[in-house]
Amino acid sequence: MRGPHNIWRLIRTGATLERTGAMGVVLDAFEAPRALRVVAHALGKPFMWLGYKGDPEMPPATRALTALGPAYIKFGQVLSTRPDVVGGDLAQQLRVLQDQLPPFPRAVAKAEIEKELGVSVDQVFSEFSEPIAAASIAQVHRARLAETGQDVAVKVLRPGIERAFRRDVDAFYFAARIVELFAPGARRLRPMDVITHFDGVVRGELDLRLESASASEFAANTADDPGFRVPAIQWGLSARRVMTLGWADGIALGDNDALDAAGLDRAMLGERVLTLFLSHALRDGFFHADMHQGNLKVCRDGDIIAYDFGIMGHIDEYTRRVYAEILYGFIRRDYKRVAEVHFEAGYVPADRDVDEFARALRAVGEPIFGMDATHISMGRLLSYLFEVTERFGMETRTELILLQRTMVVVEGVSRSLNPHINIWEVAKPVVEDYIKQSIGPRAVLNDLVKTAKVMGRFGPRLPGLVEAALIAQTHPAPTPAKTRWGTILAAGFAGLALGAALASALTLILD
């Protein structure tokens, strides 16, 4: 599929980028080498009349991507989460992409539901509205369950969207190959990796079972969080191309006038949004990665409701600890410790100077902490931090980029609710609490207990391993490598088992 027939799609894409003025913006953002610029303009300028005009009211990049269709819009959204690839300015521009596409008819949506679920829409739902939101991949209808009278939201994929995306993604891969062929210097931009990442994101969003699973896991993780709700998934009415969940009825979090009219405390809501995000990221390692005002509502009682779980972030426990220590170090202005954490985690090459790195971090932190408290930005600090770590040879870590991007969005939401919020004061207790639970002595014991559970599965094999190691020692012609590693393995298992047993005992004593 990734053959020369994609040239026509690339010509149409280049023509649209030229016609909308986006070509230069994109090439500058990627710091494209001269050879790539020549090829790009050669594909665009002679055929500019074939390009889509787009909406002149939009910025060039968003204008072009919106005109080119759903796959390009989604590509822009994914790139907005990768400022390390496209640069901060273009990432900011792409974040305002609006999925305001023409909806497909209600009758078509009902037919899609019946085909996917094998049930009659009119029998299952006593009411089924016209589309209330149409995005690049799917659209949403409000409905009422005939059996219970419960209001629900029904998300339906666009007909033929899978084929359309496969066709466009195929052209993206072809373009990436051309970039690598004609502009070897651009390989540092990792064009194939970027498209592969996008391909993976889209494949996930084209299967609503995965989004349903994300929503269900997120709901389970946050069930005990006060002031926060996640609509329940209706599994019996959800499948690959259809997702049904409880209706999120409330005031849009971005409508300050309506929030004030309802008597809601916007300052409290601003703090709650930030603390909830940090709790989800640090405590659970699973967070809503598209937590803007459009995906959040507020009930009359002040509870925040989240929805649209197509983009979720995940960070493992080790990375969470590193991230928390970095944040905590900056909160305490302990730049030496922040530097040491980067080296301990292997984020910065060991041959770099830790003291020099600490001084560079101080240059990042002190100007920010010298500002008025209401102007201190976590997003700005993290952005500066990544610039410094890049200079010191830190490799890009996708999970941290997504975390940074989400934190910037959440910070913007909090400040829109309360411009005078002190981001660091709100974050401090959440980070401190996580530090106490995950890095202190009790955390070490918990880690050893987890090791004990793993060792328990290998327990029956320990005698055999030790016996094999001892036999190897008395074998007439032992191989040095087998003897050495057999002994080490047996001793290692025995040591782990002993340590795990001690940890279990200590935990029982402390409890």
Report pLDDT digits (tens) over 410-428.
888 888 898 888 887 888 8
Residues 6+ apart with CB under 8 A from 101: 70, 73, 134, 135, 136
Q: Is the pLDDT of residue 397 over 70?
A: no
222 vs 35, residue with greater confidence: 222
Report pLDDT digits (tens) over 308-352.
898 888 888 888 888 888 878 887 889 999 899 888 888 888 888
Q: Is the pLDDT of residue 482 over 50?
A: no
- Which residues are paired to 143 by β-bridges? 128, 152
Q: How far apart are CA 375 and CA 368, in angstroms?
A: 8
Active-site residue list: 290
What is the mean predicted confidence (pLDDT) over 244-272? 92
Beta carbons of 320 and 437 less than 8 angstroms apart? no
Beta carbons of 311 and 318 less than 8 angstroms apart? no
Beta carbons of 500 and 452 less than 8 angstroms apart? yes
pLDDT, position 24: 79
Q: Confidence class of residue 48 from pLDDT cuts 50, 70 and 90?
A: confident
Report pLDDT digits (tens) over 177-194.
877 776 565 555 567 777
pLDDT, position 508: 45
pLDDT, position 506: 46
Place of tokens 């191309």: 241
| Mean confidence (pLDDT) of the chain | 79
What is the mean predicted confidence (pLDDT) over 201-226? 91
With respect to CATH, is domain 105-157+207-247 assigned 3.40.50.10680? no
Q: Is the pLDDT of residue 80 over 90?
A: no
The domains of the chain are located at: 4-98+163-189, 105-157+207-247, 250-439, 442-510
Q: Is the pLDDT of residue 446 over 90?
A: no
Report pLDDT digits (tens) over 211-223.
999 999 999 999 9
CA nearest neighbour of 230 among 138, 148, 285, 312: 312
pLDDT, position 494: 47
Percent of all residues in the chain with a pLDDT value above 70, rounded to a whole number: 73
Report pLDDT digits (tens) over 369-388.
666 556 666 666 666 666 77
- Which residues are paired to 245 by β-bridges? 153, 233
Report pLDDT digits (tens) over 269-318.
999 999 999 999 989 999 998 888 878 999 988 999 998 898 888 888 88
Q: Confidence class of residue 102 from pLDDT cuts 50, 70 and 90?
A: confident
